[in-house]
Structure 1
């Protein structure tokens, strides 16, 4: 670059570092100028944007809010179901006088509709009455407060829930939605409305209670030593075999207080310092024992007593909801097998309708079968003809109940036992340790083991399970297994091989096996997964109901009853909608004229 002075005129020229780019830029500018100089073609039409009339400040009048609800909407099914209940049944739970409450049918409709819309909180249901058109129609534009809804759901519905559910199931039977011929039973665990860390374990309570009893005995022995020079009352007996009660501890504390008062008088009247010092020490020890009895022993005894009464036949409960039991849930996000407080919901279905349900505090399904069926028998609903359930219900107790005590079968059952599937395998049939694969000689009442030795009858033995049901076993024992080459494959026992044979259970298992191998009944049992598992998936997956909102066994029973009714209502609405669409398609295919009337607003 030359030393020429850069001025305003030659600035752009001198500061250009890329002269080639500048040339290309100049060519492009010339081309655009030529294009712009060409004459433009005139636009033949100029279209202005148009919109549908819209003015949300205009006054709107709705003469009939019902006309805005579709024909097969679930709100109409709710209205129909609740209106079918006679008023006398609902009014019988009310006492006259005072301020007029909301109509019970209004409250039932809005709660059922709210649960059908996945709204489970009372505040959410109350909000529906202000914003949702079907909810406004069901309540006739009335708006009950969320406290009123909560009081009705948790209080009033406890008394009428069972009768309400049975009335709606009978209506489904009348309309041929269900027949109660096939009853598909299964259980699921739903988490309780409780803190998962507020657990109380029965084993821990028993351990602490035993330690408390030992400490009480040691304290009574210490008290006996302190007052051994005087005549002791019967309450201070330290017999190790006799357990002292709470009332006896109170009497001991009262006796010690009398002695403390007596020592206080002695100290006040005594002039010798050494004797007064000795008496003060003795009184201090007695006061310490009294404080320990009243502030530690008695409260803890009361606490453990209340805990044992709450446990019942359970192994745990939650402090937040004392009716909830800690169970293993399928929703284990931490993958550590954490137990959570919950309830075991037993439910029977047909055509994916919920026929009946019960709430249990036991984690296993086996012990819930008989209470569930007993409650169903006590209701006004008919007993099913065939009950289908999985292997978790296949126990001797449940089989005997199904058959009946007088050998008059209550209902047919399609319930496999625990080893039913395993017994169908080739490996099981060839396993020599299974006594079922041995030869049985009925005349001698003995088995012949694979080594050719007799396994003869030895004795009878009775055992009781957790529910108190007594099972009878026949004990068979081999003659001699000393030099048997097959003993390692046959048994791990050090002595002779024994066979515990439950005659009644084997007879019931043979009956269950024969039923499950029947082609007609096998087809019925195959529907079980489609039936009840689909309902559980709809409730917990589609409807997102995985945790109760209420606490206590009675209130939980009410809440799941609402969930079950909402499920059935949605099922009815879906079936009606499907049938309506089929009829509409059929009519359209026949060439019939279809007229659709839309509501119009006139101002």
Structure 2
């Protein structure tokens, strides 16, 4: 007889699954009761050594070591002294750095981590600052000490031979700001509305002039002398109109004739109309546009939620339509995938960020690198000249291709007759020979300014005669003779960059660029999920990314140490008896006598 059943009568009894067997022929089997290790989560347990619970190669130990290496003077100098005792800055730094290494970026999340995570408890020495205290330390205290802290950490990495400052891999990435992407202000719109306002002001001034044309008062005189009104001058006109209105009011109060009073009321209404426009419309709008222009600086946009954020095109665009979002351009230099230095910029393009970034690096105690490696986005004349320096000795070597470097290697570019680089140049005559065999002679010098204000010198060459040239359609779209704008300095710099990139040894260094800096961006944005700032404002964003950079370096150190020691994450011993945990169970004989429980 077949019998199938599952017995679940008791939690501690063994589960049986009888099969189709002949009970008469099968031998009797002894039933074994299951055995378990002692388990009672109601039993009082005391941990005497919290540090013993943390593995030797845990990232929390690296955080502790790196922060303890920072001199106390660097941290204590930012405290005034007196008043209620503050949490120790090293404890706060350790907790924040460890939280960022665990992908916890919010202050409430850090507060929860301190309460529930054993390494965080150890770093905090069982202290529990609330989220407001953490936010105040991160957003206010660290603004003044971030640069010194980062320099101290980098100098320790150099001392420990993690960084040599030989090769400096530079690149930038855009990170979204903590701002509303729909509350934007555009410079073109502001300029347009400001021009319309000035036109409206001129119309109102003409109206005022018509009202005052029969009088010889100061109002008419000032209008004639200053037709282009500023905010201060418009305020002065409004004050004089108010005097005029007050005078008419007094005259109306003393006038007895009804017809005369009616005329004066009409006159007063005519003066009140431009006065109201000036006070309630023109002056507030002028102040508003002035504030917006000051906020813009050399930018084209900003967000109302975070006025330091600029609208940029992000690669992380789910709609794939080139959507603009408020963000910051983070420039970062790496070596061995360590973040050596960083800077935050409001410009979307990398080209104009290189010099400010390196100038800021030069102002720190971190030694300047010997070679700068960057992509073609940094290959401008201005950056090349900066690398060479004003003196004979260059500031640093560079491996930076220019914009058309890769394109020039193609056969299509080398056979295209419209590029003057493919023409014959006669140095003694200072002229080019075009593909049709005609001379392109030097004509004049010309100086131009680019968008950043940098002056570039050009030599203008012009063909002696392009009339009836069969190759003109392929050579140029100009109606007249073909001109060549030749930038001698830039061409010399490009030749120097090309020579360096064609060197086998230096080409191998440049090939590491994607592995170096691009991997760091991928780690921060992909693995660490840091794609959006939590704080607002340029100073606070600088602090927040500094914490991210330090957490990245600490994780890198922890990974290297773990690799060198041969300790694998998957090699941890799962058995509870083999863990080095010092637990002591307290057994009470008679809890009824306890004053707390009795």
Tell me the equivalent position of 1:383.
368
1:443 is displaced (CA, Å) by 1.1
After superposition, give the CA deviation of every residue in 1:270-328 in whole Å (9 maximum; x if it has no partner).
Answer: 34333322221111121121111111100000000000000000000111100000000
Tell me the equivalent position of 1:601.
583
Answer yes or no: is 1:222 the counterpart of 2:204: no
1:156-305 equivalent positions in 2, closer than 5 A: 156-233=141-218, 237-239=222-224, 242-305=227-290
1:417-436 equivalent positions in 2, closer than 5 A: 417-436=402-421
Tell me the equivalent position of 2:427.
442
SS at match of 1:224: helix
Answer yes or no: is 1:88 the counterpart of 2:88: no
1:601 is displaced (CA, Å) by 3.1
After superposition, give the CA deviation of every residue in 1:485-506 in whole Å (9 maximum; x if it has no partner).
Answer: 1100110000000000000000
SS at match of 1:495: coil
Answer yes or no: is 1:311 the counterpart of 2:293: no
Alpha-carbon distance in 2 for matches of 1:524, 1:387: 10
1:597 is displaced (CA, Å) by 7.0
Distance 1:83 1:391, change over 3 A: same
Alpha-carbon distance in 1 for matches of 2:73, 2:83: 20
Unmatched runs of 5 consecutive residues or more in structure 2: 1-19, 571-576, 586-598
Alpha-carbon distance in 2 for matches of 1:500, 1:426: 23
Alpha-carbon distance in 2 for matches of 1:254, 1:431: 69
Alpha-carbon distance in 2 for matches of 1:543, 1:104: 25
SS at match of 1:436: helix
1:54-73 equivalent positions in 2, closer than 5 A: 54-73=39-58
Tell me the equivalent position of 1:478.
463
Alpha-carbon distance in 2 for matches of 1:216, 1:235: 15
Alpha-carbon distance in 2 for matches of 1:543, 1:94: 32
Alpha-carbon distance in 2 for matches of 1:340, 1:359: 16
Residue 564 of structure 2, aligned match among 579, 587, 603: 579
SS at match of 1:581: coil
Answer yes or no: is 1:43 the counterpart of 2:28: yes
TM-score by length of 2: 0.91
Alpha-carbon distance in 2 for matches of 1:37, 1:327: 79
| Structure of greater relative contact order (alpha carbons < 8 Å, 6+ residues apart) | 2
Tell me the equivalent position of 1:467.
452
1:8-19 equivalent positions in 2, closer than 5 A: none
Alpha-carbon distance in 2 for matches of 1:383, 1:400: 17
Tell me the equivalent position of 1:19.
none
Alpha-carbon distance in 1 for matches of 2:234, 2:160: 66
Distance 1:582 1:72, change over 3 A: closer
Question: In the alignment, is the contact (CA less than 8 A) between 1:217 and 1:240 conserved in 2?
Answer: no
Tell me the equivalent position of 2:7.
none
1:454 is displaced (CA, Å) by 0.8
* RMSD of aligned alpha carbons: 1.9
After superposition, give the CA deviation of every residue in 1:426-448 in whole Å (9 maximum; x if it has no partner).
Answer: 11111111111111111111111
1:255 is displaced (CA, Å) by 0.8
Distance 1:77 1:214, change over 3 A: same
The number of equivalent residue pairs is 560
Tell me the equivalent position of 1:562.
547
Alpha-carbon distance in 2 for matches of 1:329, 1:433: 34
> Which 10-residue stretch deviates more, 300-309 or 574-583?
574-583
Alpha-carbon distance in 2 for matches of 1:133, 1:127: 11
Distance 1:134 1:444, change over 3 A: same
1:199 is displaced (CA, Å) by 0.5
Distance 1:241 1:403, change over 3 A: farther
Question: In the alignment, is the contact (CA less than 8 A) between 2:311 and 2:326 conserved in 1?
Answer: yes
Alpha-carbon distance in 2 for matches of 1:522, 1:404: 23
Alpha-carbon distance in 1 for matches of 2:336, 2:542: 23
TM-score by length of 1: 0.90
Residue 536 of structure 1, aligned match among 503, 521, 525: 521
SS at match of 1:392: helix
> Which 10-residue stretch deviates more, 337-346 or 282-291?
282-291
Unmatched runs of 5 consecutive residues or more in structure 1: 1-34, 586-594
1:341-352 equivalent positions in 2, closer than 5 A: 341-352=326-337
Distance 1:235 1:551, change over 3 A: farther
Question: In the alignment, is the contact (CA less than 8 A) between 1:220 and 1:236 conserved in 2?
Answer: no
Answer yes or no: is 1:516 the counterpart of 2:492: no
Alpha-carbon distance in 2 for matches of 1:117, 1:77: 13
Tell me the equivalent position of 1:355.
340
Distance 1:440 1:238, change over 3 A: same
1:41 is displaced (CA, Å) by 3.7
Tell me the equivalent position of 1:113.
98
